[in-house]
Amino acid sequence: MLASLKPKVASILSDSAESVANRLQAVCTLLRDSVDYYDWVGFYFKNGDKEELKLGPYAGEPTDHTIIPFGKGICGQVALSNENFVVPDVTAQDNYIACSITVKSEIVIPLFKNGENIGQIDIDSNTPDPFTQEDERFLEFVNQKVSQIL
């Protein structure tokens, strides 16, 4: 099912008539609306020269976590590790920042531009342990396409 979204993601991101922010928003909305266990989808980006992430476009419930220090929570850990982080059960993570009591699992995939980790896509799910390697590969594809328009 995820593979069928690839052409839609590529089409949205290649629409240069739209702003980058609008294209990223459209991708977030597409993913949240198309994958039943993607309950919150958003991008975080490195905040200038600061050791923190700043919330970019997202689809889902509003979050108070608009700034995340490097090292804090799953997103902050990925900013330092440069590696995918799949959390099957958020309650088992000591360094987890709860966005909502309904969130059961999370996946965060770093976004690279010219070899530098400049941000990430973050997905929260209200379903326990739904993420597979297929999700990882698909979200890596999404980030690769996103990096081409940044």
pLDDT digits (tens, 9 = 90+) for 16-31: 999 999 999 999 999 9
Contact 40, 28 (CB under 8 A): no
Q: How far apart are the C-alpha atoms of 28 and 9, rounded to whole Å?
A: 10
Residue with tokens 């309950």, as numbered in its chain: 39
Number of domains in the chain: 1
Its sign, for the CA torsion 108, 57, 47, 94, is negative
Please give the distance of CA 28 from its chain centroid, rounded to a whole number. Answer: 8
> What's the pLDDT tens digit per position in 107-137?
999 999 999 999 999 999 999 999 999 999 9
Region 90-113 average pLDDT: 89
Domain that holds residue 28: 2-147
User: Residue 60's pLDDT band (boundaries 50, 70, 90)?
Assistant: very high
Q: What is the pTM of this model?
A: 0.96
Contact 124, 145 (CB under 8 A): no
Residue 97 has pLDDT above 80, yes or no: no
126: three-class secondary structure by DSSP: coil
User: Which CATH number goes with the domain that contains 86?
Assistant: 3.30.450.40
Secondary structure letter of residue 90 according to DSSP: G
Secondary structure letter of residue 26 according to DSSP: H
- Residue 94 is predicted with a pLDDT of 80
Q: How far is CA 21 from each of CA 87, 104, 115, rounded to the nearest angstrom? A: 27, 28, 22
Amino acid at 131: F
> What's the pLDDT tens digit per position in 61-86?
999 999 999 999 999 999 999 999 99
Sequence-distant (6+) residues with CB within 8 A of 46 are 52, 53, 54, 79, 117, 118, 119
Tokens representing 60 are 């889902």
